[in-house]
Amino acid sequence: MSESQQAPFSARYRGQHRQIDRDFPETAVNGLMHLLVDLVSKDYVSGWPAIAKELQRIARIAPVDYESSSVSSTRKAKEDSEQALNLLGWQKVYDFCERLHGHLAQEVGYFGDHDEYIVKVTRGEAQAYITDELQRLFLEEDLAFEFSDGMVRRRGRKHTVELATRAQVVLGDPRLTSARKHYDKALQFFRNPTKPDFENTVKEAVCAVEAAGKALFPAAKAATLGDLVKWLAANQDTSVPKALCQTINGVYGFRSGGDGVGHGGATGGAATRPVAEYILAVCASQIIYLVDIDNEQETDVPF
């Protein structure tokens, strides 16, 4: 998704409180068909026969042979494409979106006066266009997913996405390699389009905070995040308010006591999607905060 891509007015006005999950509604299917018409007209895909055959493959419908030079056959391929698309379950439609980008996209070119082949639009440029248009469609339909890097991923609220992005920037510190791996895993568990794992989202996000704290404050000699919080509260050099220490303790407590998160049979509450997204956002903020504290402790270089 290009950085300039913004949610359209209709999506901004509607807000993002309720995103459509486990569905690809009829309006979204219609929007996808409009995109396919656009891609065919631009030659970003080879034509309706290729689209129809790919949809038939995904839907496990018997393949049909089309004559690309025949107008009637091409028209039939378009009709079959629409029919197959409407038969697909929501998961398979997202599969098609990924295949549209990764398999069907093609470069656009022509032969010049001296029979030299001239590329008008590279395959990468065609894929970038498909990425932007699919992402625009997902935003317009308020789907619970985003399209980036050729893949469908579960998206969060705008606030969560922004915090996660900022956390990933500070996690670029070589000292925080372990923490970065944990947070990346948390995002992968949360964004999985078909089988999101919210329990492991919580576990890995809190582990990322723990790993970051241990790496940034080795003097604490902390074995757990709880140990680190006690050290931060007692250490006057860090100046961490006790109320904020309680916030860190809170997510650590849920990581240990949430249903199916830390221990089997725990009764600390279910790791639902809203809970998992909250933990992702809070842990991102905590990692950024811990890095800020560490930066404040750095001694100025004498001149």
**Domains of the chain (ranges, CATH numbers):** 9-148 (no CATH), 157-297 (1.20.120)
- Burial class (CB within 10 angstroms; exposed 0-12, middle 13-18, buried 19+) of 260: middle
- Specify the amino acid at residue 204: E
CB 54 within 8 A of CB 104: yes
CA distance 280 to 262: 16
How high does pLDDT run on average in the chain?
87
Q: Tell me which residue of 190, 290, 186 sits closest to 247, measured CA to CA.
A: 290
Q: What is the sign of the dihedral through the CA atoms of 178, 239, 224 and 206?
A: negative
Digit-coded pLDDT (tens) for 214-223: 999 999 999 9
Per-residue pLDDT at 11: 64
Per-residue pLDDT at 144: 83
Q: Tell me which residue of 26, 85, 19, 20 sits closest to 51, measured CA to CA.
A: 85
Which comes out higher in pLDDT, residue 121 or 256?
A: 121
Q: What is the pTM of this model?
A: 0.64
Average pLDDT over residues 168-177: 92
Give me the phi and psi of 196, to 5 degrees please: -65, 140
CA angle 17, 138, 288 (to 5 degrees): 60
Q: Which two tokens stand for residue 145?
A: 């997913």
User: Does position 205 have pLDDT exceeding 90, yes or no?
Assistant: yes
Digit-coded pLDDT (tens) for 226-273: 999 999 988 877 778 888 888 898 888 887 765 545 544 455 568 888
